[in-house]
Amino acid sequence: PASSGWPHSLYNNFIQFVVELFSTAYRTDDSKPWVLPVVKKVEKVIVHDDTLNHEYLPILGLPEFRSSASKIALGDDSPAIQENRVGAVQCLGGTGALKMGAEFLRRFYNGNNNTTTPVYVSAPTWENHNAVFANAGFEDVRPYKYWDAEKRGLDLAGFLGDLESCPAHSIFVLHACAHNPTGTDPTQEQWKQIAEVMMRRKLFVFFDSAYQGFASGNLEKDAWAIRYFVSLGFEMFCAQSFSKNFGLYNERVGNLTVVARDADNLKRIMSQMEKIVRTTWSNPPSQGARIVAITLNSPELFSEWKGNVKTMADRVLLMRAQLKAKLQALGTPGTWDHITEQIGMFSFTGLNPKQVEYMIKEKHIYLMASGRINMCGLTTKNIDYVAESIHEAVTQVQ
Ligand SMILES: Cc1ncc(COP(=O)(O)O)c(C=O)c1O
Ligand SMILES: *[C@@H]1O[C@H](CO)[C@@H](O)[C@H](O)[C@H]1NC(C)=O
Ligand SMILES: *[C@@H]1O[C@H](CO)[C@@H](O)[C@H](O)[C@H]1NC(C)=O
Ligand SMILES: *[C@@H]1O[C@H](CO)[C@@H](O)[C@H](O)[C@H]1NC(C)=O
């Protein structure tokens, strides 16, 4: 590291560290993927359970998965569930859930096959949002104001302005928590303002929940916005991914929650969903859904899983606190409070494209051109090096 006191020219001829900060997956303090201990345990249970087989699952998915007792997205006591107007489609990851929702909306929302209904995604957002909706046939995918680069936080006024001025019936994709890529979520008070306008203007809410548990370490807290919108009576979709919070990236486990006006509507929606799934992947895979369902349906395994999620969230929080402290100790120009104010896996550092290039070319620290870093790429071993490199980039490159 630069602090070793080596002559700079000499030191610069060696690659001290190669630091990968662009992925969207969790890494341990040894920069390794992590198989959650609870997942390992459940996988062994599955191997030894002779009642399980590899028959096709139903089109809409594994029943225990679709209805998991814990109901982690909406909450056990959700009136919408009690009123039988909530359905679920087991999907191929969060991406599959977004895709099934988008295909349904294009066919049946705001006039059949209406491809001109505007779909709004946050500026910036996970790049795939644009493409998933465009490929489902929507011709008008637009950004809504979200990130204020100047203050490195939420542009609430801009966001509310877009909600007020968009065409009626527009579809809005909202990140349920731990916004990718900015790490900036609305506060509960701000969500209330957003919901008020969306309700008044009859806009369609499509939540994307890819990081439940990662924002705060607490599942309930991270589902607050979803539950609040449901409590107001919105008809909506919620695409839920288990890739991150179960570490099941390659098993493709997702769930599309459908909240309908009433039980009758739900039945109609689910029957159309079945047709869309049938022509897309026929029936979903079982292994990942089994792992999730077994875990969520056992109080013991459920609490063990919550501990595993907290382990991941806590490591991210620790890296945030340390990175901010180190930059402040170095006297790096600018304010760095946003590092700890932002939540979830990602941080928008505020580094400009030239500074990012410096980090990559000179420091072998790989991050997104937008300045987004995955906090899990930081470890107790490389964090000094990364902080010193950010300091150099900020002080030497304008
Ligand atoms: C905001 C957001 N939505 C959805 C997904 C997709 O998740 P999955 O891997 O489960 O398809 C991701 C993955 O990075 C994401 O960041
Ligand atoms: C899938 O969504 C449904 C509807 O919201 C919910 O009842 C169920 O618990 C979800 N499944 C999982 C595994 O979270
Ligand atoms: C399609 O959507 C646009 C935009 O919301 C709307 O103006 C138009 O009336 C819709 N068309 C039909 C046939 O409903
Ligand atoms: C949508 O358009 C296709 C092709 O024009 C048509 O076959 C289909 O029936 C339409 N669906 C609905 C719900 O109107």
CATH number of the domain enclosing 339: 3.90.1150.10
Q: Any idea which ligand is nearest the CA of 76?
A: 2
Atom of ligand 1 nearest to the CA of 253: 10
Query: Beta partners for 142?
Result: 120
Instruction: Say how far apart CA 245 and CA 25 lie, in whole Å.
Output: 10
Residue 221 sits in the same domain as residue 334: no
Q: Is residue 303 part of a domain?
A: no
Q: Is residue 127 part of a domain?
A: yes
Q: How confident is the model at residue 152 (pLDDT cuts 50, 70, 90)?
A: confident
Q: Is 208 a catalytic residue?
A: yes
Phi, psi of 177 (to 5 degrees): -165, 160
Beta carbons within 10 angstroms of residue 344's beta carbon = 27
End position of a domain, from candidates 249, 269, 297: 297
Find, among 193, 194, 225, the residue nearest to 209 by Cα. 225
Given a cut of 50, whether residue 55 has pLDDT beyond it is: yes
Residue 137 Cβ inside 6 Å of ligand 4? The answer reads no
pLDDT at 1: 44
pLDDT at 12: 52
Q: What is the mean pLDDT of the chain?
A: 93
Q: Is residue 39 part of a domain?
A: no
Residue 206 sits in the same domain as residue 319: no
Model confidence, pTM: 0.92
Q: Is residue 158 part of a domain?
A: yes
More confident residue, 124 or 11: 124
Q: Is 126 a catalytic residue?
A: yes
Given a cut of 90, whether residue 304 has pLDDT beyond it is: yes
Residue 95 sits in the same domain as residue 29: no
Residue 228 sits in the same domain as residue 339: no
Residue 282 sits in the same domain as residue 359: no
End position of a domain, from candidates 248, 272, 297: 297
Residue 98 sits in the same domain as residue 203: yes
Residue 214 sits in the same domain as residue 346: no
pLDDT at 366: 95
Q: What's the total number of domains in the chain?
A: 2
Residue 266: C-alpha distances to residues 39, 64, 93, 136, 217 (Å): 33, 19, 22, 22, 32
Average pLDDT over residues 208-215: 94
pLDDT at 75: 85
- CATH number for the domain spanning 136: value is 3.40.640.10
Q: How confident is the model at residue 387 (pLDDT cuts 50, 70, 90)?
A: very high
Tell me the pLDDT tens digit for each residue of 242-256: 999 999 999 999 999
Q: How confident is the model at residue 2 (pLDDT cuts 50, 70, 90)?
A: very low
Given a cut of 50, whether residue 7 has pLDDT beyond it is: no
Domain that holds residue 288: 63-297
Q: Which of 113, 117, 170, 172 to mutate to test the pocket of ligand 3 (most atoms within 8 A of CB)?
A: 117
Residue 341 sits in the same domain as residue 289: no
| Torsion sign, CA atoms 303, 307, 308, 310 | positive
Instruction: Say how far apart CA 188 and CA 172 lie, in whole Å.
Output: 18
Q: Which of 60, 64, 67, 209 to mutate to test the pocket of ligand 2 (most atoms within 8 A of CB)?
A: 67
Q: Is residue 52 part of a domain?
A: no
Distance 98 CA to ligand 2 centre (A): 15
Tell me the pLDDT tens digit for each residue of 56-100: 999 999 999 999 866 688 887 888 988 999 999 999 999 999 999
Residue 68 sits in the same domain as residue 132: yes
pLDDT at 255: 97
Q: Is 244 a catalytic residue?
A: yes
